[in-house]
Amino acid sequence: MANEAVLDPGEGGGTVDHGRRRFLTATTAVVGAVGAGFVAVPFIKSWNPSERAKLAGAPVTVDITALAEGQRLVDEWRGQPIWIVKRSKQVLDILPTLDPRLADPKSTTDQQPEYVREANPELRSIKPEISVLVGLCTHLGCAPELKAEIRPEPFDPEWKGGYFCPCHKSRFDMAGRVFAGVPAPINLLVPPHHYQDDNTIVIGVDPSNGKGAA
Ligand code: FES
């Protein structure tokens, strides 16, 4: 079944209302740009199993054709929010420069599938521009906020864009890597996933168990 995106939860878009949401949720942000804003994504579609099947762990297929650079799409897998963000070259260029400020810049602990770490431990994605993350803080499970703008923030005067968890002030970069000295102990998790084709991501299935595409 193809579902249309119907909700834009705004800058704190990590929160997913599981009770009322039956549709794919899309939220957008200009990632890594000054003067960011939010625009609805009108026709992002997914072919999802029933809510019961999703909670049981069934894979979720997401069409990212309409996902433009600087936008975030939010879906759900195993009852968890899944963020899919299309990052700009500016964002990708910034990520390695943040390594000295991070707790585990090379993603050495078990926070993502091995094929994601091997692809690039700093970008933490199969394709450089497409980030796929579980949108739950690794401290106590709050929903971090997307703070995409590159500008001084009250919680970090040298902020280069990323995710901020207001519960206990943990910070993550645009690859979900956790900053040093915050309560969250590890990077945001990357779920198992693969590319069925250039614009179709299957969440919950490794490339080796899919159709071989990555
Ligand atoms: S739950 Fe995110 S910092 Fe505590």
Compute the distance from residue 143 Cα to the ligand 1 centre, in Å: 8
pLDDT digits (tens, 9 = 90+) for 17-57: 333 333 334 444 445 444 343 333 444 555 566 667 666 67
Q: Is the pTM value of this prediction over 0.75?
A: yes
Compute the distance from residue 89 Cα to the ligand 1 centre, in Å: 29
Partnered with residue 178 across adjacent β-strands are: 172
**73 Cα distance to chain centroid:** 8
pLDDT digits (tens, 9 = 90+) for 145-185: 999 999 999 999 999 999 999 999 999 999 999 999 999 99
Domain that holds residue 165: 2-209
Distance, CA of 66 to CA of 93 (rounded, Å) = 24
Q: What is the CATH number of the domain that holds 90?
A: 2.102.10.10
Residue at 150 is within a domain: yes
**20 dihedral zone (left: phi>0; alpha: psi -120 to 50; beta):** alpha
Our mutation pick for probing the ligand 1 site, out of 155, 168, 171, 182, counting the most ligand atoms within 8 A of Cβ, is 168
Q: Which residues contact 156 (CB under 8 A, 6 or more apart)?
A: 164, 171, 179
Number of domains into which the chain is organized: 1
Query: What token pair was written down for 210?
Result: 């899919």
Residue at 214 is within a domain: no
Residue at 86 is within a domain: yes
Q: Which residue has the tokens 């054709």?
A: 65
Residue closest via CA to ligand 1's atom 3 equals 168
